[in-house]
Amino acid sequence: MALELRDQVSQGAEPAAPVKPADLHAVKNGAAVGSPAGRATSGLEPVVRIRGYGRSFGERTVLTGIDLDIRDGELVALLGASGSGKSTLLRALSGQDPAADGHVVVPKERAVAFQDHRLLPWKKVWRNVLIGVPKGRRADALAALEEVGIASLANAWPGTLSGGEAQRVALARAFIRHPKLLLLDEPFGALDALTRLRMHRLLRELCARHNPATLLVTHDVDEAITLADRIVVISDRRISLDHRVGNDPSARNGTEALALRARLLSELGVDPTHPRHENQEN
């Protein structure tokens, strides 16, 4: 896989031209620029460009021919059945899959948050926030924790935190890096329903403030409808649906949202009329 880490992504009025293999090469450093979340992004060059991405494990092909752009300030939710390659694609964007095929353009400033918060139990909360941050100061960690609403827990040990508090620390650790690309791998999947609603609200606020291009891998159709500007479905090794969610409130609530939910479930191979269907996959 040719991985290009961008030094800069321009904010020109014209969309980016298709990526040509001859134009791409592997480099070691790069960056991108942000834009206000929620504004129209169709006129901006993508922060992320994927062309012809494919991944096989032995004789099993998981993904093939994936083309995807993610623009500045855009939150894209990625849905798919278990084993469809959602997390595989996310790993490619994090630069952890050099064995894949295709061409991937990403900014240098990236951050990842997982369902497992991955906090180091022997470090206090504020020190966990600074992991991987060169020359990070306690004051910086406190500011990041204040932003996610738990500055009072800066000196706590991770083992004393609730699930929601631990995920807030994980988000603080991601956003302290000022990412141009934020990768979220089912970060709220282990939380109870009420805590998830609170975390959804927090994520929207953080994305509006920091303006990263965001890819959210989720197994929850309702979460995707609530949070995403676009919803991408992977099935049969390819992108089978790329739907832009409207800005009107009815796109996320009401009859329009119900119709979208039914369409997404159907795309995922789930009968939306079945009274006991699973949302998608475990």
- Could you report the per-residue pLDDT of 36-86, keeping only the tens digit for each? 334 444 446 789 999 999 888 888 888 989 999 999 999 999 998 888 888
Q: 43 near 15, Cβ under 8 Å?
A: yes
Task: Look up the CATH superfamily of 2-267.
Answer: P-loop containing nucleotide triphosphate hydrolases (3.40.50.300)
pLDDT, residue 274, reads: 64
Residue 279, pLDDT > 60, answer no
> What are the tens digits of pLDDT across the range 125-145?
999 999 989 888 999 999 999
In this prediction the pTM is: 0.81
pLDDT, residue 58, reads: 84
Residue 202, pLDDT > 60, answer yes
- Residue 11's pLDDT band (cuts 50, 70, 90): very low
Bridge partner list, 243: 231
High-pLDDT (> 90) share of the chain, %: 52
If 0-12 CB within 10 Å is exposed, 13-18 middle and 19+ buried, where does residue 240 land?
A: middle
Residue 124, pLDDT > 70, answer yes
Higher pLDDT, 256 or 23: 256
E strand map for 28-149: 48-57, 60-70, 75-80, 101-107, 110-114
Residue 150, pLDDT > 80, answer yes
- Residue 17's pLDDT band (cuts 50, 70, 90): very low
Q: 168 near 150, Cβ under 8 Å?
A: yes
Please, what is the average pLDDT of the chain? 82
Q: Where are the chain's structural domains? A: 2-267
> What are the tens digits of pLDDT across the range 171-187?
999 999 999 999 999 98
